[in-house]
């Protein structure tokens, strides 16, 4: 919105607890992206197989499908700050285990998959708690800005972490990335400990099944929310899993090694960071339907172009555009849902959002891994891009979100 001052554009930063949250997240997520890049390269180094890349990625995402809806119930039942302290502390141990196994030289692909599953289980609780905690730190008036800034930190870490990981792997070896990630969680724990916001317990329980069905019933009653979530499901199944095949592009298409892998993942993160900062600076996206349609079409087209490009610098530009489109869609969808849901249902509704966004990814990772193994990595990403493009065009015609809503 023209004319907004800098404080208005970044109004969520006026809240002390949110500033602490962002500082801790910036450090921790940079470590998480370092581990993600190192884990992908480790699996690829051990197996040279896109199928195993898909299997390990699926092992990390499968718990989201299995447990994140329960995580939404937990988020509404218990103080969110205490829950986040537990999940962040628990996240230290999988990273340490992977670092030790890799340093000893005894690590196997199945051990990596098991560690990924354990970390995914922790994340299944952490994600809906963290999503629903945002509005309690900043209030309803600043939630759009908070979602955008949180996304900016997440995707800024996608730029910082992978580039550092590529350098660290070549200079110090892969274990360094895992140990740095384990150490980075301390920053989040300190930030959470210093916060005053505890996180409300809003649920008046009528039993787990009844409590859960109230969240589902709300989503079914709001057609525009259901349409947005279905679109996210399509992306999660055949679009987003492309990120786990990037080691194959770095190794076999561009012959760029771990440093090239870091640049590719970092370029995607740079595009995503640009999107998040743009939304935060805008203050609000008024014509959400048009903006989300543009973002979805951009992401889909970028997937197609990335799959056929054989020039490294062109692929960096294209993958950055894809990162912009994906985050623009997701950040807008997230803030719209957060504003639409009543406080007492927020944890459960955001757990459904997380379930679709992340819980469908193990299926998508497995499908894309199989397709890449049997038909070729480029062909798999190209096909996924085409499906996303068709779905984006279809939903751009079907979405009926009120254009003036904030």
Q: Domain coordinates of the chain in residue numbers?
A: 6-199+207-398
Give the integer Cα–Cα distance in Å for 382 and 238. 10
Q: What would the mean pLDDT of 64-93 be, rounded to a whole number?
A: 87
Query: Length of the chain in residues, anyone?
Result: 406
- How distant, in Å, are the alpha carbons of 81, 154, 249 from that of 362? 28, 21, 20
The predicted pLDDT at position 401 comes to 46
DSSP for 256-286, written as a single string: -HHHHHHHHHHHHHHHHHHHHHHHHHHS--S
pLDDT tens-digit series, residues 16-54 = 999 999 999 999 999 998 998 899 889 988 998 878 887
* Averaged pLDDT, 343-362: 75
Q: Check: CB of residue 45 under 8 Å from CB of residue 316.
A: no
Q: What is the pLDDT of residues 268-315, one digit of tens each?
A: 888 988 888 888 777 666 677 788 889 999 999 999 999 998 899 999
Higher pLDDT, 401 or 157: 157
What is the rounded distance in angstroms from the CA atom of residue 260 to the CA atom of residue 249?
Answer: 9
Q: Quote the pLDDT of residue 208.
A: 54
Name the H helices within 91-141.
Answer: 92-104, 109-138
Q: What is the CATH number of domain 6-199+207-398?
A: 1.20.1250.20
């Amino acid at each position: 919105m023209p004319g907004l001052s800098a404080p208005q554009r970044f109004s969520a930063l006026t809240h002390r607890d949110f500033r602490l949250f962002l500082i801790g997240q910036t450090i921790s997520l940079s470590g998480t992206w370092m581990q993600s890049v190192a884990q992908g390269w480790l699996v690829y180094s051990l197996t040279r197989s896109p199928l195993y890349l898909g299997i390990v990625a699926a092992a990390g995402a499968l718990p989201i499908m299995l447990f994140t809806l329960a995580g939404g119930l937990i988020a509404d039942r218990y103080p969110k700050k205490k829950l986040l302290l537990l999940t962040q502390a628990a996240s230290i141990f999988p990273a340490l285990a992977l670092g030790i196994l890799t340093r000893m030289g005894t690590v196997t692909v199945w051990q990596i998959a098991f560690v990924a599953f354990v970390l995914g289980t922790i994340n299944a609780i952490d994600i809906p708690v963290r999503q629903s905690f945002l509005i309690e730190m900043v209030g309803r008036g600043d939630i759009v800005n908070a979602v955008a800034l949180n996304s900016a930190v997440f995707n800024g870490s996608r730029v910082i972490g992978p580039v550092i990981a590529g350098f660290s792997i070549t200079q110090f070896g892969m274990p360094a990335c895992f140990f740095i990630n384990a150490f980075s969680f301390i920053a989040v724990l300190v930030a959470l400990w210093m916060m005053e916001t505890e996180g409300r317990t809003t649920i008046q329980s009528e039993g787990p099944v009844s409590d859960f069905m109230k969240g589902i019933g709300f989503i079914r009653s709001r057609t525009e929310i259901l349409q947005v979530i279905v679109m996210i499901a399509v992306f999660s199944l055949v679009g987003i899993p492309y990120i786990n095949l990037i080691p194959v592009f770095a190794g076999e298409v561009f012959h760029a090694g771990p440093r090239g892998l870091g640049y590719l993942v970092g370029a995607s993160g740079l595009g995503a960071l640009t999107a998040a900062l743009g939304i935060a600076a805008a203050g609000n996206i008024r014509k959400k339907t048009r903006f989300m349609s543009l973002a979805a079409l951009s992401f889909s087209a970028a997937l197609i172009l990335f799959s056929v490009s054989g020039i490294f610098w062109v692929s960096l530009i294209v993958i950055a555009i894809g990162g912009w489109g994906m985050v623009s869609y997701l950040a807008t969808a997230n803030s719209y849902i957060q504003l639409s849901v009543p406080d007492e249902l927020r944890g459960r509704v955001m757990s459904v959002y997380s379930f679709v966004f992340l819980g469908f990814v193990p299926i998508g990772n497995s499908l894309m891994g199989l397709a890449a193994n049997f038909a070729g990595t480029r062909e798999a990403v190209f096909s996924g891009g085409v499906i996303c493009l068709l779905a984006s065009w279809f939903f751009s015609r079907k979405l009926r979100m009120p254009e003036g809503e904030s």
